[in-house]
Amino acid sequence: MKRAGAGRDVRPPAFVYRRSENRSERRIKRGVKGALELCCERLPLEDLAARYGTPLYVYSAAMIRARVAAFARAFDSIPHTLCYSVKANSTLAILRLIAEEGAGFDVVSGGELRRVLRVNRKAASKVVFSGVGKAAAEMELAVGAGILLFNVESASELRLLAATATRLKKQAVVAVRVNPDVSAKTHPYISTGLHQHKFGVPISEAPGLYAQAAKQAFLKVAGVSVHIGSQITNVGSFREALERVADLVRVLREQGHDIRYLDAGGGLGISYEGTQASFEKQIAAYAKAVMAPLRGLKLHLLLEPGRSIVGAAGVLLTRVLYRKTNHKKRFLIVDAAMNDLLRPSLYGAHHEIVPVRGGTRETEIADVVGPICETGDFFARDRKLRVVSEGDLLAILDAGAYGSVLGSNYNTRGRAAEVLVKNAKATVIRRRESWQDQIRLEKVWARTN
């Protein structure tokens, strides 16, 4: 992380330290006239926190658009469709923004599909449905909507999909998700491409499944799918997996199957620690690794990026409630918690944490923890941080993916509000959840005689 006091970029073009140009009476009284402060595009995060409260998710529209455009440029030499992975961040306004950039969607549940259709009913034609546990009702919804492709993950699922399509008398286009037994070299919870994982079918068993699908009147075999994991930074893993899948495509075509699509999945990682490398260079290396094994196959490539589109485009703002020392151990107790951002507790994930107001260079070693009654409620442990005071704001960076979407009401805490920034305008795209919102589906049980 570059020093806040130096006014250097944090996560451009979205989050940068700027010299305050606001000379309002409120700012002068606080003694921060002309101070360095972290902004989302042109808006100071301190102003957003004052207006909307904390914890608060803040997203940059410019960053999301820039990432979608970078994918388009990197893969412009091959027919392709970008199918944004909805599970990374499913807030409706984010989906609308991505749809406006021309992307499709990868969904893993009927609920995610309904979100996509809520944003744009016509988007179904660019939707890929993945996931190991599709229920009959979800299949009915997707077949009825006319989605682009089902990624089938088992023989049982194939039978149910065939029965569903036959009952509806509507064709379902299918690919089989194969498991290439390739290590993604990532956290075991988000690695999906080895034989011991629940996802996909072994490549050796795939031809038999395609033969079964070809016999079904309302199923149309059209593609092959693979996805080996998430937060992958070694692009060699993508190339290894797709080399095996390319061989399968050749075999299937020899057997008479019209394989037109190759769904390469998603999983491209981002840098959570320190400064981020050039995304343009990263995406170029990724594109080279993905496209090299596919030369000469004349396939339409489907890509399912999620984290790499929205991860760096969001921060979680939180306010320091208390400073606390237990012997020599220092704690910063903040108003955000593991129910707002679960990744550090779930994966031991690292997120950079920076003060919203720049200036001081003094540092300390401290834990950043939330108010939930769990020892696992933390955002950082033994982290070297800039010294901040009670009442100061912190920004937890790279929280745009798997942040709000993994939120919960643990300890009866309302979910954080979410704001989307476009240049100098902020829009609340999800209001703060109230206590009434949390209990509206519940009923107090009354004893009767």
Question: Strand (E) positions, 226-358?
Answer: 261-263, 300-303, 314-326, 329-334, 353-355
Please tell me the predicted confidence (pLDDT) of residue 186. 43
What amino acid positions are annotated as catalytic residues?
373
Q: Each residue of 29-48: pLDDT tens digit?
A: 455 556 799 999 999 999 99
For the chain, what is the total number of helices (H) and then of strands (E)? 13, 22
Segment 98-109 mean pLDDT:
97
Residues of the chain with CATH 3.20.20.10: 61-309
What burial letters (b/e) apply to 225-251, b meaning 16+ CB within 10 Å?
bbbbbbbbbebebbbbbbebbbebbee
The pLDDT of residue 15: 95
The whole model's pTM is what? Answer: 0.91
**pLDDT digit string (tens) for 383-410?**
999 999 999 999 999 999 999 999 999 9
Domain 61-309: which topology?
Answer: TIM Barrel (3.20.20)
Q: What is the CATH architecture assignment of 4-60+312-438?
A: Beta Barrel (2.40)
Per-residue model confidence as pLDDT tens digits over 43-90 = 999 999 999 999 999 999 999 999 999 999 999 999 999 999 999 999
What pLDDT was estimated at residue 33? 54
Question: Residues of CATH 2.40.37.10 domain(s) within the chain?
Answer: 4-60+312-438
Q: Is residue 239 predicted with pLDDT exceeding 50?
A: yes
Give dist(CA 227, CA 222) in Å, integer: 17
